[in-house]
Structure 1
Amino acid sequence: MSTDVARRNVENYYNILRAQRRDVPTALSEADQRIVTALREAGVYQTRLEDLDLVGSEQMLSQARDVRRDIEMRVAAGPAHLDDPYLIQANKIELKDRPDIYLFGLNERLLRIVENYLGLPVAFGGFNFFYTLADGCERGARVWHLDGEDESIVKIAIYLNDVGEDGGPFEMIRSRLFKGARPYTRPARHEKLERIIGRNISADEIVTCTGPTGSVIFCDTARYYHRGKPATGQNRTAIFFNYYPRPPRRPYFCGKPIVGLEDFAGETHRLTDYQRQSALWRDNVPSIAKYLLPR
């Protein structure tokens, strides 16, 4: 089978499956609907864990504090203990015995919010637990970029310390910089991005999400350019939960999470079928779709 034929087959697979699954949204509470509306109108919504009042929040935060302590010990031990000093995140050893962080990402309210925004069932892509050094370095996720898993995806960030202007806050450019088809551009520093679009990006166009410990940020990171502002005054610890349409159009870009449901087999009794389907979506993606990108 030629690559073009295989790619058309993959495209047909996605189109048929998505047409069958369009009628998924369920009624939400007024508070949760506000999040969906904000994502549709602005691409971002910020709140606090205490206001969301989600089941499992305290357990998640308790285990997250323990993970942060472990990372800080690793950082203090020196660069030899870090895979990449510019992209420090929790490893499997630090996460595998702390299931409540992963399970929090499968909270049904969060899944329903994302589902209503995307208009499709949700694929839960796990989470990344980042520890950002206040080194002022502009690289990796600290340059402007778009995520490529699909045309729309949602990331939910939770700050584990107070984050001010110099503490590496999440930032998003509220304007859609490109019209029409989604551009496939490489990450770019601020000045380079301005050269690409041919104009200056005004301060009013940038949403800077500062906030106290427990701040929660919902954002469509495939439609809007975003970054972690380079931290200069304080290290930042944050968890980013990843959500895609099920199935995502580009599973090739959906990296395998550091921990997944298979690492917490003893906890699956705590999940509904709906949650399991969101967690195990990779089991139902055709093998060829994992390696070919729809045009």
Structure 2
Amino acid sequence: MDVARKIVIVAKKIIHRILQWPSKTVHSIYSIGPIKNKRDRHRIDLVQHHSQNLSVLNTDETLLAEGLARQGFCTTNLEIFEAFRSEKFQTATNDIYDVIEKNYLETGENIDIVKLLAAKPLLLDQFKTIFRAGLDTKLLRIVEHYLRLPVGYGGVDIFFTVADGLERGARAWHKDSEDNPMVKVAVYLNDVGENDGPLEILHLQHNAPVFENLRGFRQQKLIDLQNEGKIKFEITSFTGPTGTVILCDTFKYFHRGKPAVGRNRRALFFNYYANKPLTPYFCPNPPFSVDRMKDLVSDLSITQQDAALWRENLTGFDKIVTKRKPYLNLQINS
């Protein structure tokens, strides 16, 4: 059984690398000096042009936008965001996480959202509610002021972090690569203490060359490098009660979900980039097809629709290699 399992894992890794080939090839071309410089200058021009069109912020939005600009992260609570504090959102998150946790207690397996919706298609409306909440107008304005550009919405990750102490996947130190800068917004749906899998970010006092090419590494590597005198570091650990909201530039900071050993963690992570990311081909697949996405956001403002449908603005190679296949099997919905 172990041999068969290892074969499956290796096969999946090979398939994953093959599927990444178009994106990595385009990225290699875009990384060539003159091409990269031209793209960077174009981004600067877009930022300068949009500086005259930035949304007007109210007082609480300004405080968060300034904190995010100053540090690359800030914290608040969900009460300031209309979509997050709504009863509909609260019900949707409880419905989905209760089923996820029940499944885990009964089977010992942590089911992902794709398998969950395949097994429980009636939860699709709850998922749509959670997805739409990431288009909260106040949140988009704050993120816009950090990016200095119109916002592209990358969707939501629904994480149920089991308190097994394992350091793998998003629980190893890594940086995101969809855009520079970009913002990830974490929403805690239960109390998260130091032992319950808080989001952590890494502050490096001086950078060892080894970090330049690292995609993911474990805590012990940090400790070893510090003991060798190659780095100094500090960690900000975002603990907080239910309803804590964290905004963070996850391209700027190595980050992870600290391996939980206390209670299981319920946390949503919403993703935001510029409306045309520098590396859109590194962005994950959308949950819905274009037509279904348009239908889902048709009653929202133009700004919200543009954020959700940013892939439609891509041109050239970006449009060809950027992932567009929806990851949800929408034959299950009405």
Q: Give the TM-score range, shorter chain.
A: 0.7 to 0.9
Q: For residue 19 of structure 2, what is the aligned residue in structure 1?
A: none
Is the contact between residue 159 and residue 213 of structure 1 (CA under 8 Å) also seen in structure 2? yes
1:227 aligns with 2:222: no
Q: How does 1:196-207 map to 2 (within 5 A)?
A: 198-201=230-233, 205-207=234-236
1:54 to 77, 82, 95: 82
1:237 to 253, 266, 273: 266
Normalised TM-score (structure 2): 0.74
Letter in 2 for 1:160: L
Q: For residue 16 of structure 1, what is the aligned residue in structure 2?
A: 42
CA RMSD of aligned residues (A): 3.0
Residue 54 of structure 1: how far off its partner (Å): 2.0
Is the contact between residue 261 and residue 279 of structure 1 (CA under 8 Å) also seen in structure 2? no
The structure-2 alpha-carbon separation of the partners of 1:71 and 1:13, relative to structure 1 and needing over 3 Å to count, comes to same
Equivalent residue of 1:96, what SS?
helix
1:171 aligns with 2:200: yes
**Structure with max Cα Rg:** 2
Is the contact between residue 42 and residue 174 of structure 1 (CA under 8 Å) also seen in structure 2? no
The structure-2 alpha-carbon separation of the partners of 1:226 and 1:189, relative to structure 1 and needing over 3 Å to count, comes to same
Equivalent residue of 1:97, what SS?
helix
Q: Distance in 1 between matches of 2:268 and 2:208?
A: 31
Q: Distance in 2 between matches of 1:214 and 1:224?
A: 23
Equivalent residue of 1:100, what SS?
helix
Q: How does 1:203-282 map to 2 (within 5 A)?
A: 205-259=234-288, 262-263=291-292, 266-282=295-311
Is the contact between residue 125 and residue 241 of structure 1 (CA under 8 Å) also seen in structure 2? yes
After superposition, give the CA deviation of every residue in 1:237-259 in whole Å (9 maximum; x if it has no partner). 10000000121111121101345
Q: Distance in 2 between matches of 1:96 and 1:10?
A: 41
The structure-2 alpha-carbon separation of the partners of 1:208 and 1:66, relative to structure 1 and needing over 3 Å to count, comes to same
The structure-2 alpha-carbon separation of the partners of 1:114 and 1:214, relative to structure 1 and needing over 3 Å to count, comes to same
The structure-2 alpha-carbon separation of the partners of 1:137 and 1:285, relative to structure 1 and needing over 3 Å to count, comes to same
After superposition, give the CA deviation of every residue in 1:151-196 in whole Å (9 maximum; x if it has no partner). 211011001111111110111124475499x944211112324556
User: Which sections of structure 1, spanning at least 5 residues, go unmatched?
Assistant: none
1:97 to 116, 122, 125: 125
Q: Distance in 2 between matches of 1:179 and 1:108?
A: 40
Residue 4 of structure 1: how far off its partner (Å): 9.8
Is the contact between residue 135 and residue 230 of structure 1 (CA under 8 Å) also seen in structure 2? yes
Runs of 4+ in 1 over 6 A off after TM superposition: 2-6, 8-11
Among all aligned residue pairs of Structure 1 and Structure 2, give the percentage whose two residues are the same amino acid: 36
Residue 122 of structure 1: how far off its partner (Å): 0.6
Q: For residue 179 of structure 2, what is the aligned residue in structure 1?
A: 150
Residue 38 of structure 1: how far off its partner (Å): 1.3
Equivalent residue of 1:222, what SS?
coil
1:132 to 146, 152, 161: 161
The structure-2 alpha-carbon separation of the partners of 1:176 and 1:141, relative to structure 1 and needing over 3 Å to count, comes to farther
Q: How does 1:60-75 map to 2 (within 5 A)?
A: 60-75=89-104
Q: Distance in 2 between matches of 1:223 and 1:31?
A: 24
Equivalent residue of 2:190, what SS?
coil
Q: Which has the higher contact order (CA 8 A, sep 6+)?
A: 1
After superposition, give the CA deviation of every residue in 1:119-158 in whole Å (9 maximum; x if it has no partner). 1111100000000000000111111111111221101100
Q: How does 1:159-198 map to 2 (within 5 A)?
A: 159-175=188-204, 178=207, 183-194=212-223, 198=230
Q: For residue 314 of structure 2, what is the aligned residue in structure 1?
A: 285
Is the contact between residue 126 and residue 260 of structure 1 (CA under 8 Å) also seen in structure 2? no
1:117 aligns with 2:146: yes
The structure-2 alpha-carbon separation of the partners of 1:184 and 1:110, relative to structure 1 and needing over 3 Å to count, comes to farther
